[in-house]
Structures are given as structure tokens and as C-alpha cells.
Amino acid sequence: MQIFNSLTGRKEEFRTHQPGVVRMYVCGDTVYDFCHIGHARSKVAFDIVRRYLEYRGYQVVFVRNITDIDDKIIKRAAENGETIQSLTERFTRFMHEDYDRLGILPPTHEPKATEHIQGIIDMTQQLIDKGYAYVASNGDVLYSVSKFEGYGQLSGRALEDLRAGARVAVDEAKHDPADFVLWKRAKPGEPFWPSPWGDGRPGWHIECSAMSLDLLGSHFDIHGGGMDLKFPHHENEIAQSCAATGDTFASWWMHNGFVNVDDEKMSKSLGNFFRIRDVLDSGHLRDPEVLRFFLASSQYRGPINYSLVQIEQADAALGRLYTALRDVPLAEAFTPGEATRRFQAAMDDDFNTPDAIAALQTLATEVNRAKGAGDLAAAGALAAELKSLGGVLGLLQLPPEAFLQKAVGASALSDADIERLIAERKAARAARNFKEADRVRQQLSDAGVILEDKPEGTTWRRS
């Protein structure tokens, strides 16, 4: 298995620190607002990574943190006139609802920053003791980037360039413009915890270093997150963790690409910012699995363009896979064939989900061919293989009829309406009133309902 390592800039053969076990940390969310499709892109990508590693036989210890204290949270709670705990618990609940709808597996551990304050204080003290951090004149504890050899290795940014790009109005408490906060001295009215340097709260970067150390140890296998976290967040994590422990920290660094909307980068300022739940409830998706399929249709490292056209294409493509599974009794066991080999080869090549999905589409064609030939035994075995491989990507999790009969948009016809019209059409055909039967069929077609007449009766699905 080859995985692209952002730290080295190349694909490398994947080997775990502990045989048979993958220890993996993925940066989670700051819970003060609803999750958007950029969050969905990252979480689905690493959920697929986790699922495939488990499919390949690894025991995966998957950690995804929650940041439940920072400047944005404090500001939003004050604006709302509510407690920080009330705010963060509510948006943590909303986050779980969104991710559950997308079929994202819960992590093995989901630590909160406020639950690891002592570990953060301990790591900060280690960095002070080793000469990598200092207490500034304003009471903050800052990391001295000049003390860490190799700072900038992940992002490819030279320290001198970072200094040159710093704003003119540099914080006078810093020894170096590039230094960053480990522990923030509390301001009046802010939440705080006692520490050797006075009441305060953790800086953002130190949270992940302390939580990963506590739950995965000083050297683990994979650290993941969005491309936007590479600098400064992940760069600072490396500096903190390696300096504090003297160990390797993460062997592989994985970063997913950005989401564009209609070929423009998604941002609140452009007004093209979409929350997950708004997309799922917009009426444009037959099922949340369509969004998951869309996100999986591009390789995780590259950008992905979100548009209604792309969603419609994803719906149609996923619908073809479900159609292949329709009316086929799944075999209890199957012998993996060429499709499984192609699927594994694609996923072993840095989780190449587009090629993996192509293998599923080829397999669906084989299922349809076997169905057309009347070989239900072969179709059942192929369909079982298709559903099994789809499950590795978190797809094909519904009964085919349940997916295919879901409405897209504001349908004028309910399921009961459709069944009533089908019965009327059946009666018209029995009375040899084919003009009326054709009229009913056209009415259903205009409403986006496709009929399929079979010897055992008429089935339907929404287009």
C-alpha cells in the first residue's frame, strides 16, 4: 500500500509503527457553528481511509478531537448570551447529527480540549524546561520557533520568509515574530484554568499535541486534516510534539484538498458557503449517500467542485449501482473476482477512490449482464461482491428499493399516489384501455417516476 506523505512530498510504502495496528489522529472541529461541506469533505475522506485500513485487516485506533475552547467560541457565546458549555454541547450534537447522516463512523476516541488541560499544562512546562518556550511579558507562554531545527519542513516555508511576511505591528511580547502561543493569560471575564504561569487557557495548536500524546503516544502512524491546516497548525504541532518528547510524532501526514463551489473557492465572503444540513435538506439529494458518493468521486488530495450538476451526476451514478442490486437475492458468500482486485489496487494507490468507484461500476455492468441472461446465481454472487466493496466506501448501505423510490425535490406525488396510479394503469390495461394506461404512465413519467413492467408485476423508482 502506497500513501502520499505530505512531510516528504511523495508516495511511500505504508508500514505501521506496531504490526497490525494503525494509530491515526485527524483534526476535528471547533464547535461554535454548523459544519459545512468542507468539513464533510475531510471527514468522509478520512472515514474512507479508516474503513479501508480495517478492510485490509488492520486494527485502527482512530482519534478525532473536538476544540471546545477558543476565541471564536468565547465570542459567539458572549454574543448569544449563553454559557460556553451550552454553546459547545449544542453544536457538538449538531455535528454528530450531520456526520451520522453521512455515514461517518464514530471515532475510537473523541477527546475535548477542556478534558486535557492538565496534559496541555504538562507539555507546556516540558517545553519551557527544555528551552523551547518562554513566559512573555504579557503573561502568555510562547513557543520559540528559532529553537526548533527544521521548522517549516511540512509546509515548505522558510523561517526567514515567515519573519519577512509578518505584519509590521508585531506583538512586542514575542522574541520572534513567528513565535506562537501555547498558553494564553486570561483576560477579564474569560474562562480560565489555574497554571504555573497564572490563570489562563490553552492555545489552539498545543491542544492536538497533548491529546494525541495522551491517546496515541509520542509516535503514531497517520496524522490527517484539511490542506488549510498544514500551516500553521500542523507545522506547530510538529515543533511542539517533537521538542517535548524527543520522538518522531506522526510518520505519515495526509491532507485533503479544498472544496470549490461552481469553480470558486468556498468562502463566507463570496456567499457560496454551504452547511451540511442545508445541502442534505435542500431537496436536491435523494439521500445523504449521494453527497458521500460525490465527495468520494474525487481523489482526496485534489480539489473538488461542488455544483448542482455534479450532484445530479452523482445521484445518477449511484442510482445505477443500486439499480444493479435491485431484484437480485444476494449470495451468502462470493469468490472475489477481477473487480475486487481492481478495487484493492486503486485503494492501495493512495486511496484512489475514483478508480475504486470505476471498479464498482464495471461490476454493476456484470451484474446486469448476468440478470439479463437469467443467471440469478451468478448475478447474486456479483451483487454480493458489489455491495461488499461499496460498503468499504460507506456506500450501498440502503435496500435498493428504499434508495430508488426516494423523491428528489418537491415531488407532487407521494408513494401512496404512485401506488394508486399504478393500480389504475393496471386496471386500464386489463380492460384493454391502452390509451388510458399510456396517459397514466406519462403522468408518472412527468412526475419523475419510472415504471418497469415485469412478469411478476410493475415496480417503480424515481428518476
Sort strands 180-185 and 249-256 into parallel, antiparallel or unpaired: unpaired
Binding residues for Zn(2+): 27, 208, 233, 237
Whole-angstrom distance, CA of residue 362 vs CA of residue 336: 14
The answer to whether residues 405 and 336 touch, using CB atoms and an 8 Å cutoff, is no
The answer to whether residues 102 and 288 touch, using CB atoms and an 8 Å cutoff, is yes
Whole-angstrom distance, CA of residue 308 vs CA of residue 306: 7
Residue 240, exposed/middle/buried by CB under 10 A (0-12, 13-18, 19+)?
A: buried
C-alpha grid cell for residue 83?
Answer: 454559557
C-alpha grid cell for residue 396?
Answer: 450501498
Amino acid letter at 255? Answer: H
Whole-angstrom distance, CA of residue 318 vs CA of residue 77: 41
Here the contacts of 350-355 (C-beta below 8 Å, separation 24 or greater) are 350/2, 350/3, 350/4, 350/11, 350/299, 350/301, 351/3, 351/45, 351/48, 351/49, 351/52, 351/299, 351/300, 352/299, 353/48, 353/296, 353/297, 353/298, 353/299, 353/300, 353/393, 354/297, 354/298, 354/299
Cβ of 54: how many Cβ atoms within 10 Å? Answer: 15
The answer to whether residues 266 and 274 touch, using CB atoms and an 8 Å cutoff, is yes
Binding residues for ATP: 268
C-alpha grid cell for residue 245?
Answer: 518528547
Where are the extended beta strands (E) located within 248-379? 249-256, 259-261, 264-265, 304-306
Residue in this structure with the C-alpha cell 448501505, named with its chain if needed:
397
Sort strands 259-261 and 264-265 into parallel, antiparallel or unpaired: antiparallel
Residue in this structure with the C-alpha cell 464533510, named with its chain if needed:
40
Binding residues: 27, 208, 233, 237, 268
What distance lies between CA 226 and its chain's CA centroid? 10
What distance lies between CA 307 and its chain's CA centroid? 18
C-alpha grid cell for residue 270?
Answer: 463570496
